[in-house]
């Protein structure tokens, strides 16, 4: 192993991708300060030569001429900006924050943290802390569009929203995947850069069953069980009932690891398998067989993704999935469900997070770990009164395409007194910003695969220095927070008294240095010299492809230590679960309106939510189309290529249709993140519409118990607009 060339120097730089949780190893070839090409890193011991088409095209983002290269200040209508100096931008922003703070309204400053914040340790460790330091306690973000239901469910099961579990792929022989498409999304809340290899391994030993309304890339490679969208809770409840009825569970063993099973069982017995069959579209005997096969498989796990968590019962779905793993004794069992390898000292123990207070000003919805449901942000800006949001700080987000809001969100953004965006593109949302502050791409900053450190299948370490220097005047986000904090007279961009004290003494380490310290104190660390073969960033620089670490104590046996409930037991009952099952049972007699279709989403390997659409290589072969089942298409005289209109109670959008037997009858499917019209030339020329205009805004369009936006469950109307030109 040799060290990488210094940042910006010619040669091959081993690094890793930070677009999704897989963190695949990459090798970037640098010439004259620019990245010429990127290849998968076959010497990365974790990803072993796997990288997808997004990772190897990331230099096209770093060197994109449409990038924001200097601070931009709004000068006119949305989208009209002029370049200003950093000092002018930051001085003005600090002054305007000070003015808002002086008015003394604690609710006036809000933030939006987008998905990419998770892949910058600067952001993930400090953005929300910086916001608290500004006196803001209203973080809105992507969480209410993806993880929050799972967090609340995990909070009940484990006593803390994190960490979550995922399948022990290496030993699993029978895997049920519900509402996830890992061959495209490469894993959610787990670090699985070789997921195809992992799943093929399970299938070679047994079965991989994919429960999904669409015959996805993952479903077509393995076994597909089609299910009506938004009906998974029926399947899970029916499976639990069948398991109990058929004597497949061991109550004495269940009692050793959990409590609450008898309450859950009592609720489960109210579910009727025939109703579950009617709701899911899966025959009752097939449900019974699936339950039995799962119980009888020696090494089995059930895993769920976004499709499970974003319906009207997302939290209950995520909870029941965990409950099935629990009552079939899969926690910590070989091939069952497991916690990730923790590489850092301070996350070696689960942290607890709050659920409930503070409640949102609009709709009184619970916060999750203090985080607010996005669906009420537009109202929080527009509705007058104490606590109205006047200023918004957005790190790496594009909610106009990614969240609910549509026209109301546009009005809200236009009504802000101050809107600051940290981004390297002018996107649809920050067109409304007062300032866009240009940040680095991951190829321009040194970092750890920080989120992966809690989600690893095997112990792995890597650190990468920046491959090239920041382009133009772009800056690391932490540096920008520090500059704003300094102008406001804050010792550091934080609300933590310990960190403020350290900063005042001149000893506050940067987030990346803090992670180094956590690593050095952690299970594989060098204990600051006390352990000779231990690891530190300094030593890792000699191993730029990353290293597998000798097996740490096998946490399969230690899983109970990761449960935060005082008694160390999994909790299989909570009043909230009772309420949710009662709500479900109450609607048992009201069948679905079959005149409407149910709209769900999908992802593409070449897209990442609403960005990366400015890379010609990635978008030129993409054509976002609405998938319609042949029977539903025929009933509306729709053929492939037609322009159709989808109407929800919230809006209407035109899409191109594609008739496909891969989608279930009664369901239609469109990818989110399209419908561009901002400061990116190539993206603006892509086809496609913004499906999120169809989502509802306001508390009534959320899952009440979690504030999750209702996404994969909307009932919509479909009609033909224009026949195909082809
Ligand atoms: N209908 C529907 N809607 C969805 C989903 C769905 O499945 N269906 N999925 C939801 C999910 S899971 C998520 S996570 C959200 C995502 O929604 P958001 O988190 O809002 O993410 P994006 O819309 O992709 O916008 C990301 C922005 O971050 C910028 N960016 C990228 N990297 C960096 C960086 O390193 N630093 C900074 N400062 N900026 C960066 C990009 O330029 C882009 O402008 O969308 C959600 N919306
Ligand atoms: N290429 C690519 N990779 C990505 C992303 C991306 O945009 N592009 N986004 C990243 C992000 S932010 C996230 S959060 C993860 C998400 O990763 P995943 O959790 O795997 O989510 P999706 O890929 O959206 O797959 C969700 C699946 O649920 C199905 N589904 C919809 N409704 C239902 C339902 O009611 N029941 C069931 N059983 N299934 C349903 C959909 O058909 C779809 O196949 O992916 C990440 N990886
Ligand atoms: S799978 Fe994710 S981490 Fe790997 S190269 Fe693709 S985008 Fe990057
Ligand atoms: Mo996400």
Per-residue pLDDT reduced to its tens digit, 623-661: 999 999 999 999 999 999 999 999 999 999 999 999 999
Span 508-565, pLDDT tens digits = 999 999 999 999 999 999 999 999 999 999 999 999 999 999 867 655 568 998 999 9
**Residue indicated by tokens 């805004």:** 697
For residue 500, report the distance from its CA to the centre of ligand 2, in Å.
Answer: 40
Q: Does position 119 have pLDDT exceeding 80, yes or no?
A: yes
Mean pLDDT of 340-347: 81
Distances (CA, A) of 477 to 72, 395, 421: 15, 9, 11
pTM score, whole prediction: 0.97
Mean pLDDT of 352-366: 89
For residue 507, report the distance from its CA to the centre of ligand 3, in Å.
Answer: 35
Residue from 523, 588, 443, 572 nearest 4 by CA: 443
Ligand 2 proximity of 397 Cβ (cutoff 6 Å) = no
The span from the CA of 680 to the CA of 678, in Å, is: 6
For residue 398, report the distance from its CA to the centre of ligand 1, in Å.
Answer: 6
Going by alpha carbons, the residue nearest to atom 42 of ligand 1 is 425
For residue 186, report the distance from its CA to the centre of ligand 3, in Å.
Answer: 7
Q: Is 532 exposed, middle or buried (0-12, 13-18, 19+ CB in 10 A)?
A: exposed
Buried b (16+ CB within 10 A) or exposed e, 226-243: bbbbbbbbbbbbbbbbbb
Q: Report which bound ligand comes closest to the CA of 20.
A: 3
The span from the CA of 167 to the CA of 169, in Å, is: 5
Q: Report which bound ligand comes closest to the CA of 306.
A: 2
Contact 377, 405 (CB under 8 A): yes
Mean pLDDT of 210-229: 98
Q: Does position 706 have pLDDT exceeding 60, yes or no?
A: yes
Contact 71, 426 (CB under 8 A): no
Strand 139-141 with 109-113, pairing: parallel
Span 291-343, pLDDT tens digits = 999 999 999 999 999 999 999 999 999 999 999 999 999 999 999 999 998 89
The DSSP secondary structure of 104-170, one letter per residue, reads T-TTSEEEEE-GGGGG-HHHHHHHHHHHHHTT---EEEGGGGTTHHHHHHHHHHHSSS---EEE-TT
Q: Report which bound ligand comes closest to the CA of 424.
A: 1
User: pLDDT grade, residue 416 (50/70/90)?
Assistant: very high
Give the length of the chain: 726
Domain ranges of the chain: 11-62, 72-139+367-548, 148-343+566-580, 591-722
Whole-number pLDDT of residue 136:
96
The DSSP element (H or E) to which 266 belongs, if any, is: helix 261-268
Whole-number pLDDT of residue 557:
61
Q: Report which bound ligand comes closest to the CA of 305.
A: 2
pLDDT higher for 593 or 301? Answer: 301
Peptide bond into 629 cis (omega under 30): no
For residue 433, report the distance from its CA to the centre of ligand 1, in Å.
Answer: 17
Contact 162, 351 (CB under 8 A): yes
Q: What is the CA radius of gyration of the chain?
A: 25
Ligand 2 proximity of 709 Cβ (cutoff 6 Å) = no
Pocket test for ligand 2, best of 51, 57, 188 (most atoms within 8 A of CB): 188
- Max Cα-Cα span within the chain: 74
Q: Which two tokens stand for residue 528?
A: 């600051």
Cα–chain center distance at 46: 21
Whole-number pLDDT of residue 212:
98
Strand 626-628 with 651-659, pairing: parallel
Going by alpha carbons, the residue nearest to atom 32 of ligand 1 is 116
Going by alpha carbons, the residue nearest to atom 26 of ligand 1 is 397
Buried b (16+ CB within 10 A) or exposed e, 302-339: bbbbbbbbbbbbbbbbbbbbbbbbbbbbbbbbebbbbb
Distances (CA, A) of 253 to 246, 256, 437, 556: 17, 5, 56, 17
Q: Is 409 exposed, middle or buried (0-12, 13-18, 19+ CB in 10 A)?
A: buried
Contact 397, 118 (CB under 8 A): no
Span 87-99, pLDDT tens digits = 999 999 999 999 9
The order of strands in the sheet holding 435-438 is 81-83, 72-74, 435-438, 418-423, 391-395, 109-113, 139-141
Contact 173, 206 (CB under 8 A): yes
Mean pLDDT of 483-502: 97
Residue 148 makes CB contacts below 8 A (sequence gap 6+) with: 368, 371, 373, 706, 707, 708
Ligand 2 atom nearest residue 214's Cα = 42
β-strand partners of 439: 475
For residue 233, report the distance from its CA to the centre of ligand 1, in Å.
Answer: 28
The span from the CA of 215 to the CA of 80, in Å, is: 43
Pocket test for ligand 2, best of 167, 213, 306 (most atoms within 8 A of CB): 306
Pocket test for ligand 1, best of 117, 139, 395, 397 (most atoms within 8 A of CB): 397
Going by alpha carbons, the residue nearest to atom 13 of ligand 1 is 142
Q: What is the DSSP letter of 174?
A: E
Contact 305, 603 (CB under 8 A): no
Ligand 2 proximity of 609 Cβ (cutoff 6 Å) = yes
Whole-number pLDDT of residue 349:
43
Q: What is the DSSP letter of 360?
A: P
Report the SS3 class of residue 39. Answer: strand
Span 170-199, pLDDT tens digits = 999 999 999 999 999 999 999 999 999 999
Fold of 148-343+566-580: Dimethylsulfoxide Reductase; domain 2 (3.40.228)
Q: Which CATH class is domain 11-62?
A: alpha beta
Residue 685 makes CB contacts below 8 A (sequence gap 6+) with: none
Which range is least confidently modeled, 223-227, 232-236, 472-476, 588-592? 588-592
The span from the CA of 712 to the CA of 308, in Å, is: 9
Torsion of CA 218, 221, 223, 225, to 10 degrees: 40
Distances (CA, A) of 614 to 248, 603, 678, 688, 709: 53, 17, 11, 14, 27
Whole-number pLDDT of residue 555:
56
User: pLDDT grade, residue 350 (50/70/90)?
Assistant: very low
Ligand 3 proximity of 711 Cβ (cutoff 6 Å) = no
Whole-number pLDDT of residue 446:
98
Q: Does position 452 have pLDDT exceeding 70, yes or no?
A: yes
Peptide bond into 641 cis (omega under 30): no
Q: Does position 101 have pLDDT exceeding 80, yes or no?
A: yes
Ligand 1 proximity of 15 Cβ (cutoff 6 Å) = no
Question: Which percentage of the chain shows pLDDT scores above 90?
Answer: 94
Ligand 3 proximity of 24 Cβ (cutoff 6 Å) = yes
CATH dotted code for 72-139+367-548:
3.40.50.740
Whole-number pLDDT of residue 348:
40
Whole-number pLDDT of residue 553:
65
Going by alpha carbons, the residue nearest to atom 2 of ligand 3 is 20
For residue 429, report the distance from its CA to the centre of ligand 1, in Å.
Answer: 11
Distances (CA, A) of 544 to 8, 224, 342, 645: 15, 40, 20, 51
The span from the CA of 562 to the CA of 553, in Å, is: 14
Whole-number pLDDT of residue 591:
73
The span from the CA of 196 to the CA of 193, in Å, is: 9
Output helix, strand, coil percentages for the chain, rounded to the nearest 5: 35, 20, 45
Task: Write down the mean pLDDT value for the chain.
Answer: 96
The sign one gets for the Cα dihedral 268, 273, 279, 281 is positive
The DSSP element (H or E) to which 236 belongs, if any, is: helix 232-245
Q: Does position 725 have pLDDT exceeding 60, yes or no?
A: no
The span from the CA of 246 to the CA of 242, in Å, is: 6
Would you tell me how many other CB atoms lie within 10 Å of the CB of residue 700?
10
Mean pLDDT of 678-692: 97
Distances (CA, A) of 473 to 59, 86, 425, 439: 17, 8, 13, 9
Q: Is 296 exposed, middle or buried (0-12, 13-18, 19+ CB in 10 A)?
A: exposed
Contact 336, 294 (CB under 8 A): no
Which range is least confidently modeled, 184-198, 352-366, 666-680? 352-366
Q: Which two tokens stand for residue 229?
A: 């969208």
- Architecture in CATH for domain 591-722: Beta Barrel (2.40)
The span from the CA of 306 to the CA of 115, in Å, is: 14
Mean pLDDT of 457-465: 96
The DSSP element (H or E) to which 503 belongs, if any, is: helix 497-504
The sign one gets for the Cα dihedral 89, 18, 556, 512 is negative
Q: Does position 41 have pLDDT exceeding 70, yes or no?
A: yes
User: pLDDT grade, residue 353 (50/70/90)?
Assistant: low
Going by alpha carbons, the residue nearest to atom 6 of ligand 3 is 52
β-strand partners of 653: 646
**Residue indicated by tokens 């750890």:** 448
């Amino acid at each position: 192993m040799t060290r990488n060339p210094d940042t910006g120097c010619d040669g091959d730089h081993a690094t890793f991708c930070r677009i999704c949780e897989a963190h695949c190893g990459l090798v970037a070839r640098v010439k004259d300060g620019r990245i010429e090409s990127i290849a998968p890193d076959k010497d990365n011991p974790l990803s072993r030569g796997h990288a997808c088409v997004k990772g190897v095209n990331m230099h096209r983002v770093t060197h994109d001429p449409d990038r924001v290269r200097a601070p931009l200040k709004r000068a006119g209508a949305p989208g009209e900006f002029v370049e200003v100096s950093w000092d002018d931008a930051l001085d003005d922003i600090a002054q305007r924050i000070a003015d808002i703070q002086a008015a003394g309204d604690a609710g006036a400053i809000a933030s939006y943290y987008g998905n990419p914040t998770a892949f910058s340790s600067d952001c993930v460790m400090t953005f929300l802390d910086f916001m608290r330091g500004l006196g803001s306690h209203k973080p809105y973000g992507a969480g209410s569009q993806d993880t929050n239901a799972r967090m609340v469910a995990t909070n009940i099961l484990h006593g803390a929203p994190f960490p979550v579990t995922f399948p022990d792929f290496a030993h699993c022989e029978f895997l049920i995947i519900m509402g996830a498409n890992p061959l495209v999304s490469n894993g959610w809340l787990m670090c699985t850069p070789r997921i195809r290899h992992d799943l093929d391994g399970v299938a070679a030993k047994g079965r991989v069953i994919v429960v999904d309304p669409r015959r996805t890339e993952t479903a077509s490679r393995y076994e597909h069980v089609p299910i009506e969208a938004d009906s998974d809770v029926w399947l899970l409840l029916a499976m639990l009932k069948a398991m109990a009825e058929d004597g497949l569970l061991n109550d004495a063993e269940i009692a050793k690891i959990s409590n609450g099973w008898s309450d859950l069982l009592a609720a489960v017995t109210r579910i009727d398998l025939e109703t579950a069959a009617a709701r899911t579209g899966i025959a009752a005997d097939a449900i019974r067989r699936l339950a039995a096969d799962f119980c009888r498989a020696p090494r089995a796990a059930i895993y769920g993704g976004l499709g499970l968590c974003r319906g009207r019962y997302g939290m209950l779905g995520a909870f029941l999935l965990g409950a099935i793993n629990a009552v079939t004794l899969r926690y910590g069992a070989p091939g069952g469900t497991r916690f990730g390898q923790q590489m850092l000292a301070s996350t070696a123990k689960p942290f607890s997070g709050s659920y409930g207070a503070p409640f949102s000003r609009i709709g009184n919805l619970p916060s999750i770990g203090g985080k607010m449901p996005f669906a009420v942000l537009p109202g929080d800006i527009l509705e007058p009164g104490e606590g109205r949001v006047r200023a918004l700080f957005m790190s790496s987000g594009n909610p106009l395409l990614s969240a609910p809001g549509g026209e109301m969100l546009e009005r809200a953004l236009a009504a802000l007194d101050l809107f600051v965006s940290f981004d390297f593109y002018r996107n649809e949302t920050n067109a409304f910003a007062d300032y866009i502050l240009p940040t680095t791409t991951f190829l321009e900053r040194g970092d750890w695969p920080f989120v992966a450190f809690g989600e690893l299948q095997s112990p792995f370490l890597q650190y990468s220095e920046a491959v090239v220097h920041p382009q133009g005047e772009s800056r690391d986000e932490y540096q920008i927070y520090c500059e704003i904090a300094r102008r406001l007279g804050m010792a550091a961009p934080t609300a933590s008294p310990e960190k403020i004290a350290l900063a005042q003494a001149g000893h506050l380490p940067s987030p990346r240095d803090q992670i180094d310290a956590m690593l050095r104190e952690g299970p594989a660390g060098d204990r600051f010299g006390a352990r000779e073969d231990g690891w530190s960033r300094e030593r890792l620089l000699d191993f730029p492809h990353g290293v597998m670490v000798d097996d740490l104590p096998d946490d399969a046996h230690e899983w109970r230590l990761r449960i935060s409930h005082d008694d160390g037991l999994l909790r299989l009952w909570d009043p909230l679960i009772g309420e949710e099952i009662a709500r479900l049972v109450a609607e048992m007699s009201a069948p679905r309106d079959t005149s409407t279709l149910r709209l769900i989403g999908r992802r593409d390997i070449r897209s990442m939510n609403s960005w990366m659409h400015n890379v010609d290589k990635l978008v030129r072969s993409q054509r976002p189309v609405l998938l319609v089942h042949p029977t539903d298409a025929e009933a509306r005289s729709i053929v492939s290529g037609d322009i159709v209109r989808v109407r929800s109670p919230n809006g209407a959008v035109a899409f191109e249709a594609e008739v496909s037997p891969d989608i279930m009858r009664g369901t239609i499917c469109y990818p989110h993140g399209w419908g561009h019209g901002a400061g990116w030339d190539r993206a603006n020329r892509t086809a496609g519409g913004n499906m999120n205009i169809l989502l509802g805004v306001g508390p009534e369009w959320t899952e009440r118990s979690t504030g999750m936006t209702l996404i994969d469950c909307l009932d919509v109307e479909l009609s033909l607009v224009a026949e195909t030109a082809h």
